[in-house]
Amino acid sequence: MARKSAFLLLSALLSVLAPVDALWPQPRSITTGSSALRLSGGFDIVIGSVRNPPSDLHQAVDRTSGFLKNDKLERLVVGRGDVDRAAVAKAKTLSRLTLSLGKGATARSIAAEAQKAVEERDEGYVLDVPADGSGATLTANSTLGLFRGLTTFSQLWYQSGSTTYTIEAPIHIEDSPAFPYRGYMLDTARNFFPVSDIKRAIDAMSWVKINQFHWHIVDSQSFPLQVPGFLELSQKGAYSSSMVYTPQDVKDIVSYAGARGIDVLVEIDTPGHTSVISKSHPEHIACAEATPWASFANEPPAGQLRLTSDATAKFTSDLLVAVSKLFPSTMLSTGGDEINASCYAQDAETQAALNATGQTFLQALNSFTQKTHGALKKAGKTPVVWEEMVLDFNVTLSPETIALVWISSQNVKGVAQKGHKLVHAASDFFYLDCGGGGWVGANPNGNSWCDPFKTWQKAYTFDPVANLTVDEAKLVLGGQHLLWTEQSGPSNLDPISWPRAASSAELFWTGPGLNVTSVLPRLHDLSFRFQQRGVHTIPLQPLWCALRPGACDLTA
């Protein structure tokens, strides 16, 4: 962590020195000057020393050119773009940004680079924008790094009248992420989201250099995923025949994400959260829709895979393998959260099987997991699980298994002590749905189980290595915001997520330690830019405040 700390110190210093740039996340290392520089009318992004550049790099260049033309972000100061009009009118012009790959680097597609194992992705880049108008350069050792650099480049510019400019040239950035995993989770099972909404979410993720879309695609309520060989699951379990993700939809989303530097980690939650499978395979589900649901599950409807059944273990393994073929990621999540022992205790078939074999419930869970994880690993996937699988159930997990810590950030230490790589996903910091009222019916005045609302400041000030030893800290892959959608749909996907989810994106890219009190202006810039690009972020303050950095601070 020594190298990281040095970067942090540098970044913290520079964030004071460089107050007007609209970058998010803040680069790990940046130096800026104070000269004005504007883009020439014929400004062009050129792919230089890259042999056989992949099509998704060409597309990324085109999108970046589009942003430079269309963002039209005026500086958030009183007077907006007019303030800089005179200063930039006679500024030198920049006519070109040239992209190059480092010597010996191969130009694989951005998607292929993004879909590598999370710790093998090379996202670093060096960006130089000289003040004298000679060409800007962007170099990296992978197309993924070039893409991250393009994302940064698109955020360097403001608009005044028809002039696109910076007042901070020269700019030199050396950047790479503090943590390899920076995610965003969306649940498409409680309520359904059309492909267009998911793509818009992916766009937003990519703009803040999130590299992992954690897709909680099915759950007890609905099974929208069409799985080849298992079509009955969605036929019987999707909310409707139009509320499904076809294999073509998945391919489309995976490709869309990949081209934007994002890997898709799909989750098929097992053995809990599977009630809906009972619609097509009642033989595999214990306590399906049993009532009162609270005696069988953490939320309605109840239903869990019969983990004592060999047939069910085979069905589950085959399903996981079939799903794994739809997603090129090296990872696949088998869930494992909220397994309800009472459900199994009340299921005659499960009890009979346990009695026949002399197994306990935990032994059966372990055995079930060995089978499903075994199949998954044979299919080339690294299993991802929720924290209970590590902490509560004494399940034997292969060492490469990655744990998502969700119940509480207090549980991070325990997971690390067990030696598992982990991703921060704690409800007390990163749950976007907390604080919006309870969704369970007949519960007057009920607030959400994880009140209060988790502010962007709360996530931003999270310490990813709190209480961890140096060795334990090495197990922290990164973190993510999460949206469980009991009370969300396309109507509020954007405002409930953005700009809040950007706070973890910066925390895990730039690293902790940035001053939360000074980043708000950049977050306003981000919000305005997102709006212009079609993502409906909320304003975090009255516009009066956004135009006057610091004026609405607590003690201003």
Q: How far apart are CB 77 and a copy of itself at their closest, in Å?
A: 13
Hey, how many other C-beta atoms are within 10 angstroms of the C-beta on 120? 9
Q: Which is nearer to a copy of itself, 76 or 403 (CB)?
A: 76
What amino acid occupies position 448? S
466 forms part of the interface with a copy of itself (CB under 8 A): no
Q: Which is nearer to a copy of itself, 303 or 383 (CB)?
A: 303
Distance CA 262, CA 112 (A): 10
- First CA to last CA distance, the chain: 36
Give me the 332-361 binding string for a copy of itself, x by CB under 8 A, dash otherwise.
------------------------------
- Contacting residue, 9, 87, 466, 551, with a copy of itself by CB under 8 A: 551
Give me the 224-253 binding string for a copy of itself, x by CB under 8 A, dash otherwise.
---------------xx-------------
Catalytic site residue from 74, 232, 289, 338: 338
Q: How far apart are CB 442 and a copy of itself at their closest, in Å?
A: 4
544 forms part of the interface with a copy of itself (CB under 8 A): yes
- Contacting residue, 222, 270, 329, 350, with a copy of itself by CB under 8 A: 222
User: Is 338 tagged catalytic?
Assistant: yes
Please, which residues have CB within 8 angstroms of residue 36's CB and are 6 or more apart in sequence?
A: 84, 87, 88, 91, 92, 165, 166, 167, 169
Q: How far apart are CB 276 and a copy of itself at their closest, in Å?
A: 8
| Footprint of a copy of itself on 273-302 (CB under 8 A) | 291-294, 299-301
Question: For residue 475, how many C-alpha atoms fall within 13 Å in the half-sphere facing its CB?
Answer: 24
Q: Which is nearer to a copy of itself, 64 or 191 (CB)?
A: 191
Phi, psi of 100 (to 5 degrees): -140, 145
Q: Which is nearer to a copy of itself, 72 or 458 (CB)?
A: 458
The secondary element (H helix, E strand) that includes residue 539 is: none
Q: Which is nearer to a copy of itself, 211 or 537 (CB)?
A: 537
Q: Which is nearer to a copy of itself, 366 or 537 (CB)?
A: 537
| Footprint of a copy of itself on 503-542 (CB under 8 A) | 516-517, 520, 531, 536-542
Phi, psi of 334 (to 5 degrees): -100, 10
Please, which residues have CB within 8 angstroms of residue 195's CB and are 6 or more apart in sequence?
A: 245, 249, 252, 253
Distance CA 23, CA 554 (A): 24
Locate 489 and state its tokens.
């749909």
Distance CA 260, CA 195 (A): 16
Instruction: Please state the separation of Cα 503 from the chain's center in Å.
Output: 11
Size of the site for a copy of itself (CB under 8 A): 72
- Contacting residue, 52, 162, 196, 555, with a copy of itself by CB under 8 A: 555
Distance CA 136, CA 171 (A): 9
| Footprint of a copy of itself on 62-121 (CB under 8 A) | 80
- Contacting residue, 411, 448, 497, 504, with a copy of itself by CB under 8 A: 448
488 forms part of the interface with a copy of itself (CB under 8 A): yes
- Strand ranges in 115-227 using DSSP code E only, listed in sequence order: 125-129, 136-140, 158-160, 163-175, 181-187, 212-216
Q: How far apart are CB 299 and a copy of itself at their closest, in Å?
A: 8
| Footprint of a copy of itself on 170-199 (CB under 8 A) | 189-192
Q: CA geometry: angle at 232 spanning 226 and 238, to 5°?
A: 60
Distance CA 78, CA 295 (A): 58
Nearest one of 36, 31, 34 to 172, comparing CA atoms: 31
Q: Which is nearer to a copy of itself, 46 or 538 (CB)?
A: 538
Which position has the token pair 């964030």? 15
455 forms part of the interface with a copy of itself (CB under 8 A): yes
Question: For residue 391, how many C-alpha atoms fall within 13 Å in the half-sphere facing its CB?
Answer: 20
Q: How far apart are CB 453 and a copy of itself at their closest, in Å?
A: 5
Hey, how many other C-beta atoms are within 10 angstroms of the C-beta on 214? 25
Interacting stretch for a copy of itself, rule CB under 8 A, among 20-28, 119-127, 158-166, 480-488?
480-488
Q: Which is nearer to a copy of itself, 141 or 537 (CB)?
A: 537
- Contacting residue, 118, 270, 446, 449, with a copy of itself by CB under 8 A: 446
| Footprint of a copy of itself on 416-445 (CB under 8 A) | 435-445
Distance CA 331, CA 325 (A): 11
Give the residue numbers marked as catalytic. Answer: 338
